[in-house]
Amino acid sequence: MEADFVIVGAGSAGCAMAYRLGEAGASVLVIEHGGTDAGPFIQMPAALSYPMNMKRYDWGFMSEAEPHLDGRKLVVPRGKVIGGSSSINGMVYVRGHAMDYDHWRDSGADGWSYADVLPYFRRMETWHDGGHGGDSYWRGKDGPLHVSRGPRENPLFDAFVQAGKQAGYETTDDYNGQKQEGFGPMEQTVHGGRRWSAANAYLRPALKRENVEITRAFAQRVVIEEGRAVGVEVKRGGKTEVIRARREVILAASSINSPKLLMLSGIGPAAHLAEHGIEVIADRPGVGGNLQDHLEVYMQMAASQPITLYKHWNLLSKAVIGAQWLFFKKGMGASNQFESAAFIRSKAGVAYPDIQYHFLPIAVRYDGQAAAEGHGFQAHVGPMRSKSRGRVSLRSGNSEDDPKILFNYMSHEDDWEEWRRCIRLTREIFGQEAFKPYVKHEIQPGAEVQSDADIDAFVREHAESAYHPCGTCKMGSVNDTDAVVDAQGRVIGVEGLRVADSSIFPRITNGNLNAPSIMVGEKIADHVLGKDPLAASNDVPWIHPQWETEQR
């Protein structure tokens, strides 16, 4: 088997690349270890807690014992299925803040400023405002990725936005438009009532072309001959074989598996590779380093009225919702239920939001366990730009072994201060007039958790990953020893090999990572094809005029 381009991973970026490279007439072969995404668990938006916890769809990674979180091992779900993590995620669509990308540029990723990436965000999406207002000038009209909004029928969605306004914060009609900062509607990758994953948006249309195909196999390493990547060694049906690439090999295997594959192929920190008996082809100390993620907690309130989704937390109701979705793709099943959001700054002097809220009108755990105390609602919240950095490293030289993942969460002292502010600011929002008719009491953390030490203990015990790992094959300038790829995604020190997924982010973006990961696939496809990038935009994003002196 061979093709012009061999892409490892049919995830958010890989599917977008397959579509764009195939559209240009090149032959493309995508290698994916996971199987089909058919069936209601993946396609029905409201069922989102299921696929994330199913061995069939998830790589099943765990972190190492996290030293600053009481030694807990956290789950690290990554999609092992067509569509990758876009098939098992919460479907929340956030581009990130303009200043995130300006920071990428300033840290050595030339051509990745907000002005450079905005045209790609526009190209990739078809935006449906659902008649709810918003910022159509900033949005895409005819891209493969459909982005919509939930109906926001539950009164709690509006109460959340009103409470933010009463607390003195901005509102925004479209956090993916000119103005991210503020409270407003949340967006989802849902179309026609179905999860609009990268598989539905990009891969299925791409596979209709004769020059694009997918094979189910387990990638073991990149084959490099005389300093050039020429193919990928895979295990398929119990046999080891090499799939050859005439032009390039592109790793889009996630921020966990892309660095693992590079290291197994001899690209990474020389001493670490030698330790596992791997011949060093390129000594790149940055491979696997710079690991970042978002941590979050669920701030939960007990509700004084039976208006939350808890009323559907029974078999009969779930069956009705399921049937309604199955036959009509409508009703509660057609939304991920994250329909209001907010981005705020934690203090004066922070130039752009560093706290994100997902609001949910039920009190429940992400793994779908136990609705806490019956009727309730919650905000998933956490700081956006932790200074802590972790690492993905090899457990052994055997490709079958999961890598070691140590996020090293909360290892920077500033993280603790950010978290305390985060919890206190959230309580203040839930304490506003707009919530008075609905709040009975605080379930979690609980009213008794007040001092810095109490809050720290709560975070140590309850913070969970928001499942946004990134940064492990950092993009930067060629003379940056920590950079793994250059500004076109080319692996430094090897010919014919690129990485295109969330692992190349120099720094984590503000919000969920599916949208920026797809954008990376879109933009690097143009670099691979040797096209001129889309013309930079001159649009100026909104920054709070008093950010230096005011928190809101």
By CB neighbour count within 10 A (0-12 exposed, 13-18 middle, 19+ buried), where does 530 fall? exposed
Q: Give the closest residue to 335 by CA, choosing from 198, 132, 151, 129.
A: 151
- Cα–Cα distance for residue pair 379/425, rounded to 1 Å: 12
List of residues 6+ apart from 501 with CB closer than 8 A: 9, 11, 12, 13, 14, 251, 252, 253, 254, 255, 258, 517, 520, 521
- Cα–Cα distance for residue pair 361/311, rounded to 1 Å: 11
Asked if the peptide bond before residue 445 counts as cis, ω within 30 degrees of 0, the response is yes
> What does the angle CA 38 – CA 44 – CA 50 come to, to the nearest 5 degrees?
85
Assign residue 119 a region: left if phi > 0, alpha if psi is -120 to 50, beta otherwise?
alpha
Backbone angles phi and psi of 54, in degrees to 5:
-110, 125
By CB neighbour count within 10 A (0-12 exposed, 13-18 middle, 19+ buried), where does 51 fall? buried
Q: Which amino acid is at 355?
A: I
Q: Is 297 annotated as a binding residue?
A: no
Assign 522 to helix, strand or coil.
Answer: helix
Q: Is 44 annotated as a binding residue?
A: no
Choice among 103, 468, 527, 544 that is catalytic: 468
Annotation marks residue 468 as catalytic: yes
Q: Is 71 annotated as a binding residue?
A: no
Q: Are residues 384 and 364 in contact, defined by beta-carbon separation less than 8 angstroms?
A: no
User: How many helices (DSSP H) and strands (DSSP E) are in the chain?
Assistant: 13, 25
Q: Are residues 231 and 2 in contact, defined by beta-carbon separation less than 8 angstroms?
A: yes
Q: What DSSP string runs through 102-157?
A: HHHHHTT-TT-SHHHHHHHHHHHEEE--TTS---GGGS-SS-SEEEEE----SHHH
CA 206 vs. chain centroid, Å, equals 23
Q: Which amino acid is at 502?
A: S
Q: Is 193 annotated as a binding residue?
A: no
Q: Is 322 annotated as a binding residue?
A: no
- Cα–Cα distance for residue pair 334/337, rounded to 1 Å: 9
- Cα–Cα distance for residue pair 363/372, rounded to 1 Å: 6
Q: Are residues 170 and 116 in contact, defined by beta-carbon separation less than 8 angstroms?
A: no
- Cα–Cα distance for residue pair 160/270, rounded to 1 Å: 51
Annotated binding residues = 81, 89-92
Instruction: Point out the residues that are catalytic.
Output: 468
Binding-site residues for FAD, in ranges, read 81, 89-92
